[in-house]
Amino acid sequence: MPPMQPIISVTNLSKTYKSGFSALKGVDLSIRRGEIFALLGPNGAGKTTLISIICGLVNPSSGQVLADGHDIVTDYRAARAKIGLVPQELTTDAFETVWSTVNFSRGLFGKRRDPALVEQVLKDLTLWDKRDTQIRMLSGGMKRRVLIAKALAHEPQILFLDEPTAGVDVELRQDMWKLVRGLQERGVTIILTTHYIEEAEEMADRIGVISKGEIILVEEKAELMRKLGRKQLTLSLQEPLASVPPALASYNLALEAEGNELVYTYDTKAERTGITALLQDLSQANIRFKDLHTSQSSLEDIFVSLVRDRR
Amino acid sequence: MTAAIVNWHAIRAIYLFEMARTWRTPLQSIVSPVISTSLYFIVFGGAIGSHMPVIGGVPYGAFIVPGLIMLSLLTQSIANASFAIYFPKFTGTIYELLSAPVAWWEAVMAYVGAAATKSILLGLIILLTASFFVPEIRIEHPLFMLLFLALTATTFSLFGFIIGIWADGFERLQVVPLLIVTPLTFLGGSFYSIDMLPGFWRTVALFNPVVYLISGFRWSFYGVADVGLGVSLGMTLVFLAACIAVVGWIFRTGYRLKN
């Protein structure tokens, strides 16, 4: 595949607020054209600051951002015309109707009126029936859909979703994921921040982890899970043990559930897992088990351990 | 598609949005200023005015009409424009404007244009109302009248826009109109000629920018003025230029808009 220019390239981006708080410290990040990128990080890590700078809500202290090759400061018109933003807070014009607010957004981004397109956007988000309703009459989930419709009304090539499913019911979350996949199929690049690891695990092609204003990791999701994912083999014993027998010391076993379970942790990327040897040694030590199961660490476990290690 | 030189779609969208807001609140936007001005006409023009001397050949009831229109024009321009930009800041919907491919002067054109349009319409409605109470009204220089109306509405909408950005609470939003603009208007010759003031206070009054607006506006009605027409126009343009400079600075630096 020929190397493609990244659709967003962030170079040495820093932001220090007037209070002296350093929200971003020399961030470098490239977003690939057409991917779904999940930005993970604890509260206050700098996720929203990063998005706000790229979208023009916050002035950077130093560094550069290019959106599809356009500098977001010197060539902001071209850069911003390509970007749609769905903010974290449900900030809407309470007294506007759904129809007028979405058409307003399209105009604001310099696009000619296109009722057919707006109709399609509203239908995709199941808002068509609510088009003449004032936004204040809508539920939280519906307001979230309105914000997405506003961001999509000018046909952006890049869509930022800042915590898109915070406080959203399961049904809407599923709808949103479907919508995001549909957008990706149409060539839209999507960058989402989320607290829900499940969401990143479900949606993202690549994952970036930000902590204390620094990007500490960017990785393909599958690669990340393979690399950092650990598997555990849990054996439920027939007879509880008081301690791990010395013969098994080299396996680094943990004794859990009041001596009723032996837990063996191993690397999925290792050539040999050592399970066969362990089972043989167990039977030689005359330890019998009645059940066993394996489990793989989730992205959440990975994330928690990554962020904890940095503290 | 390359971005247009001027984002007319955005200017149109904001302008229409702001105008639509007016029609949603006709009581606050149109009816209440008309009623309060009518009360002025009844009290000052009718009740008190009948005991007042003729000023510069103009009956008192007619004399105060331009001043009262100016009073409404100033306060409504400031109120319209300051609220228009303060409210999105307050609710957070300003994010969309800041993230849009809109130049600062385009946003200003749209917001100030809408606020000025409203106050010009209001000024004309008040003029119409006044003609019911004060039949002696005549307009000697209608083009200058419209020019002063438009210039003042634009200038003070810009001023209101600045206040709306500066304000970080509803109280501050009210402070400038209440504590500065209303006194300046009352002391600026809405209800009397500057010549009626004692010598010292006449000099003080000349530092009040509103004196020039009202004087010029009244001249366009009756051909009498406290200060020369050129000075009135000049001072109005100076204030307009100052407001444009401040708004430009605000958007270049992101003052009170971007962290």
pLDDT surpassing 80 at residue A304: no
Give the span between the Cα atoms of A71 and A59, in whole angstroms: 13
| pLDDT in the model for residue A85 | 97
pLDDT per position as a tens digit, A69-81: 999 999 999 999 9
Least Cα separation, residue B164 to chain A (angstroms):
17
The answer, for B19 touching chain A at a CB cutoff of 8 Å, is no
The answer, for B259 touching chain A at a CB cutoff of 8 Å, is yes
Enumerate the residues of chain B whose CB falls inside 8 A of the CB of residue A23: none
Q: How many CB pairs under 8 A join A and B?
A: 84
Give the span between the Cα atoms of B96 and B92, in whole angstroms: 9
| pLDDT in the model for residue B32 | 82
Is this model's pTM higher than 0.80 or not? Answer: yes
> Which residues numbered 115-174 in A keep a CB inside 8 Å of some CB on B?
150
Q: Phi-psi category of A15—alpha, beta or left, where left has phi over 0 and alpha has psi -120 to 50?
A: beta
The answer, for A88 touching chain B at a CB cutoff of 8 Å, is no
Burial of A246 (0-12, 13-18, 19+ CB in 10 A): exposed
The answer, for B57 touching chain A at a CB cutoff of 8 Å, is no
Q: Are A59 and B100 an interchain contact pair (Cβ–Cβ within 8 Å)? A: no
Cα-Cα-Cα-Cα torsion A248, A251, A254, A258, nearest 10 degrees, comes to -20
Q: Are B3 and A78 an interchain contact pair (Cβ–Cβ within 8 Å)? A: yes
Residue of B86, B99, B257 best to disrupt the A interface, most CBs of A under 10 A: B99
> Which residues numbered 23-42 in B keep a CB inside 8 Å of some CB on A?
24
Report the share of chain A in percent with pLDDT over 70. 93
Q: Please check whether residue B81 is in contact with residue B177, taking contact to mean a CB–CB distance below 8 angstroms.
A: no
| pLDDT in the model for residue B1 | 42
pLDDT per position as a tens digit, A45-66: 899 999 999 999 999 999 999 9
Enumerate the residues of chain A whose CB falls inside 8 A of the CB of residue B21: 95
Domains, chain A, ordered by start:
8-226 (3.40.50.300), 230-297 (3.30.70)
Give the span between the Cα atoms of A301 and A307, in whole angstroms: 10
| pLDDT in the model for residue B85 | 92
ipTM, 2 decimals?
0.86
* H-run or E-run covering B158: helix B142-166
| pLDDT in the model for residue A105 | 97
Q: Which residues of chain B have pLDDT under 50?
A: 1-3
Q: Across chain A, what does the average pLDDT equal?
A: 88
pLDDT per position as a tens digit, A9-37: 999 999 999 899 999 999 999 999 999 99
pLDDT per position as a tens digit, A202-254: 889 999 988 889 998 898 988 877 766 677 888 888 888 888 888 888 888 88
Least Cα separation, residue B255 to chain A (angstroms):
11
Least Cα separation, residue B241 to chain A (angstroms):
26
What mean pLDDT do residues A254-267 have? 84
Q: Are B258 and A95 an interchain contact pair (Cβ–Cβ within 8 Å)? A: no
Q: Are A77 and B97 an interchain contact pair (Cβ–Cβ within 8 Å)? A: no
pLDDT per position as a tens digit, A162-184: 988 776 777 778 888 888 999 99
